[in-house]
Chain A
């Protein structure tokens, strides 16, 4: 276990976004310009819930501190926010805006972090709906802080973080002084299932709604399309692997 001698109290901001349940049917409406939310169940983005939030809670439990979750989202996202509170965050902030652009979202969070002062800002690796991996790095640049991306381990030693992170084709152990922004990947923590007491407590935990600041939208999604339907799977006799190899060479042209 790491030692936590110097700090004693850490203010952690955990960025939470919603994501459609992984079994949701993916379809689009309005001439393929909008995601069809009909019947879609929203969950806390798994990376945010399993890795960053749980690691933040573990740090708080070991050295003391406060875990605030922040979401850029509309009023309908409050159900997802309450779920994250049920897992154990102390309080929540919702920036009242539709997060259609990563830059817009990141600047909102950075503004809040700047005004309120945090030792550590955590994000997930990426959102599973738009898979951008953008927001964390953008928050860091907007705050002029170091950003450790895709950390699979995070330990606090006084005012220093020791992290293990994925790099191209390997792993790296790095050290960085607080404050810092970290995006959390697999390995960081184990999933926690909220218990009844947590769920009850979440109902009365503070949830502050903050008006957004004016920020340009640098990108927009103009439309969506679905992949072409797969042609039926061609079945090959398990005793005839020469045929499979020939098909992969002549027909599929991949070997």
Chain B
């Protein structure tokens, strides 16, 4: 069996790339990586450590047109006779994997959270994380797009070879006029630690205490929907049913009531800490650790405690 893993290396290699290659390795068989762009071969070779036997890189294709990228991945799938193509379930995968599914006539499982079980079905979140579904792929070829933070990357091997590849991207019908990328921030869906706050913070000028805690922990920041809607925080921080769905190791929520639509985007978190003045806040029912208290006092105290803990050598 041959597995092809698509890696977005445009901004270097992230943990989600190592997760996807590890996942491909766990499927069994030979793992080839396909990527595009300028990342140097030495960096790409390190994907071998996670189980890739070779990396194909289309250096002539630097664009981001999903239709072109689909062609490149399809030709790599053909060349390697891949029976399964693996993506990390990010925004690129959401645009490209469905196209590839039609092109290869390969059943697509999006948002997989585990390796296939004994009967070959793949576990996914359904109903906004309130339940799991077991998806069976009936076609010979499969595409699996893996939700970030669903498994730990495993280093099992050594660097692998990197080969130039021409995927015949063809023409682009999409013209990019401008790209805005915030520098240096941890992309929310990939963050392992997230500090989030809601309307209980009373106003945008109070977010300093949220950012301080995030900084002390090395966490990303998030918020509830009303906070993004009234413009206290940028839209990309909005988590929940209508925002981003995340599954970090730790989700700290301060001044968020825990409405069902909010929970829908965060209940895949491994551990949840809730800070709220109201002991009846519904969020406590979903939390692992609860603090009944004023966020304006608790957050700075927690930040101090985290700093102390880090200073003690952790």
Contacts and interface: CB of A to CB of B under 8 A. Distances in A.
A218 B236 contact: no
Interface in A165-213: 166-177, 180, 186-187
B274 to A, nearest CB: 7
A241 interface: yes
A221 B125 CA distance: 12
B32 interface: no
Interface in A217-236: 217-227, 230-231, 233-236
* Interface size of B as a range: 35 or more
Contact of A26 (B99, B108, B130, B249): B130
B286 A230 contact: yes
The 10 closest A-B pairs by CB, nearest first: A137-B98, A238-B293, A218-B107, A170-B181, A141-B102, A149-B95, A241-B305, A141-B99, A254-B250, A219-B107
B62 to A, nearest CB: 14
Interface stretch (A72-80, A81-89, A125-133): A125-133
Contacts, number: 270
Contacts of B64: 167, 172
Contact of B128 (A131, A135, A177, A230): A131
Q: Which of A47, A174, A187 has the most CB of B within 10 A?
A: A174
Interface in B173-187: 173-182, 185, 187
B179 A170 contact: yes
Nearest to B67: A146
Interface of B: 8, 10-11, 64-67, 70, 90-92, 94-103, 105-111, 119, 121, 125-128, 130-139, 173-182, 185, 187, 192-193, 217, 235-236, 238, 241-243, 245, 249-250, 260-261, 264, 267, 270-271, 273-274, 284-294, 297-298, 301-302, 304-306, 308-309, 314
A90 B201 CA distance: 44
Given A138-B98, A222-B135, A235-B292, 15 more contacts: A103-B102, A137-B94, A141-B102, A142-B102, A147-B99, A167-B91, A168-B91, A169-B185, A175-B177, A186-B238, A216-B139, A223-B121, A224-B132, A242-B305, A255-B250
B189 to A, nearest CB: 9
A140 interface: yes
A138 B127 contact: no
B126 A135 contact: no
B270 A218 contact: no
Contacts of B289: 233-236, 244, 247-248, 252
A245 B106 contact: no
B260 A221 contact: no
Contacts of A233: 274, 284-285, 287-290
A159 interface: no
Contacts of B94: 133, 137, 149-150
A241 to B, nearest CB: 4
A31 interface: no
Contacts of A255: 193, 217, 250, 306, 309, 314
A148 interface: yes
A208 to B, nearest CB: 25
Interface of A: 20, 22-23, 26, 28, 46-47, 101-103, 106-107, 128-138, 140-142, 146-150, 152, 162, 166-177, 180, 186-187, 216-227, 230-231, 233-239, 241-242, 244-249, 252, 254-255
B238 to A, nearest CB: 8
Contacts of B291: 235-238, 244
A218 B106 contact: yes
Nearest to A160: B175
A176 B245 contact: no
Contacts of B193: 254-255
A234 B180 CA distance: 42
Contact of B297 (A140, A237, A238): A238
